[in-house]
Structure 1
């Protein structure tokens, strides 16, 4: 029997619609996967190869209250379709990659935009701007294939901030998984945040956020 020298970390879980828990292994995120968002961030949206960054698995937030992080004056919301993988593999075709998807959920990539801007300016890593505590709110995972079209939107205190359609993604869900599998061996338990449409903007403590993606269970939380 293994003798731990400290208490092992608590496993990160995301509830599944209908019951059960999805254990999280890694969180991958895709940057600039909607043309309008690429433009608002000052980039060329002409189907450049997707690029990825990551968040630690304990960035997951599933409760109705999310803590506003320290060390920022400019916290931004980014609504995203999240893929939950039930199988693994590497160097996969889009057709094979699609078969890895266990289910999908609504997620929000919270970003300390001021720290990200400073990191970009100085050529430093984005970790502090993207991978902080509770920076990856996520709703219930619905088992089955992920939607390929339908509304993706986010409102703050009842006011719509982001609005688009999943069919506006530059790289489809299957293509995102395929590209990612050329960089990492994917495994069951991986979550993939697939990008956000235009309209990202600031939120403050006390704001009520509602995120919708197609017919998936909506995600609602309040910043405290």
Structure 2
């Protein structure tokens, strides 16, 4: 089953995608649908307003997750590219909902950064509360998978050993277009993941190359805190990032970033430079 959040007139709606048709489920977005323990049945039985898929305006697949937990250094080839050893435990950091944009929205390149990089990723979306889960229970708590690009301001990321400040600039992180349930997509079996800039492929990997797979990540993170329906885990990026190239390469205004995971979907986002209004001081009398 494929699910999404679409923008309608002044609102959003959760939909089930059936071929060329999207059917509303009656929920304001996919996060609200997943919050119902009976979401699978409700989604499968939905018979609301229908839309032509070709006319859809997609929002981030979960517009405001309670948590976005990202994983660094999780593809074997990327770890080697960065000159590191395979980790014993996942490297975790956070991102906030303000960073998310839809799968075809413009990426806003932060005015404060001169080194905005791409990071094609598989995203995991949680479908049930999960805490202290073994791997089997963790797998059962996964609602499905989506596509995300963890666009990163490298010059801000490396200002300190903590990566957060480079990872969550507003309107930088495309997410979607759909969630695909695990019966239709199995990253552990290997899904082709790719990233391209202006049509040139810059990242290519197989999700079977993940050091920590989706169920392992859910199990590990659930030891720290309760994962709730709609929470998102970005599982990490493979080799080919611009920062590791010689010479280094970064995104610029007008470039198109394309991110794809086979069997799930594709993001296409044009980059736009942020316009920051200069603060003008009011003249004083005299």
Give the alignment's TM-score, normalised by structure 1.
Answer: 0.87
The match for 2:266 is: 218
How far apart, CA to CA, are the structure 1 residues paired with 2:117 and 2:94? 17
Offset from partner CA, 1:36-75 (integer Å, 9 cap, x none) = 1112223212x42112101112211104212111211100
Is the CA contact (8 Å cut-off) linking 2:147 and 2:176 kept in structure 1? Answer: yes
Contact 1:103 1:141 in 2 (8 A): no
* CA RMSD between the two structures: 1.9
The equivalent of 1:140 in structure 2 is 177
Distance 1:59 1:221 in 2: 14
Partner of 2:193: 152
Name stretches of at least 5 consecutive residues in structure 1 with no aligned partner: 1-12
Deviation, structure 1 residue 172: 0.9
Q: Distance in 2 between matches of 1:74 and 1:17?
A: 38
TM-aligned CA deviation for residue 147 of structure 1: 2.5
Counterpart check, 1:59 vs 2:107? no
| Structure 2 match to 1:8 | none
Residues 1:198 and 2:239 aligned together? yes
Change (3 A) 1:181 1:72: same
Residue of structure 2 equivalent to 1:112: 153
Change (3 A) 1:192 1:37: same
Shift of 1:151: 0.6
Q: In 1, distance between residues paired with 2:219 and 2:116?
A: 31
Aligned ranges for residues 89-128 of structure 1 at < 5 Å? Answer: 89-120=130-161, 125-128=162-165
Q: Separation in 2 of the partners of 1:14 and 1:58?
A: 19
Distance 1:116 1:55 in 2: 12
Deviation for aligned residue 1:214 = 1.9
CA distance in 1, matches of 2:15, 2:149: 17
Q: Higher relative contact order by CA 8 Å / sep ≥ 6: 1 or 2? A: 1
- TM-score, normalised to structure 2, is 0.69
Please tell me whether the aligned partners of residues 86 and 102 of structure 1 are also in contact (alpha carbons under 8 angstroms).
yes
Q: Is the 8 A contact 2:256 2:268 kept in 1?
A: yes
How many residues are aligned here? 208
Cα offsets for 1:109-143 (capped at 9, x unmatched):
011111112213xxxx3222011102321122323
1:28-39 correspondence to structure 2 within 5 Å: 28-39=69-80
Structure 1 residues 164, 50: closer, same or farther in 2, change over 3 A? same
Q: Distance in 1 between matches of 2:264 and 2:111?
A: 31
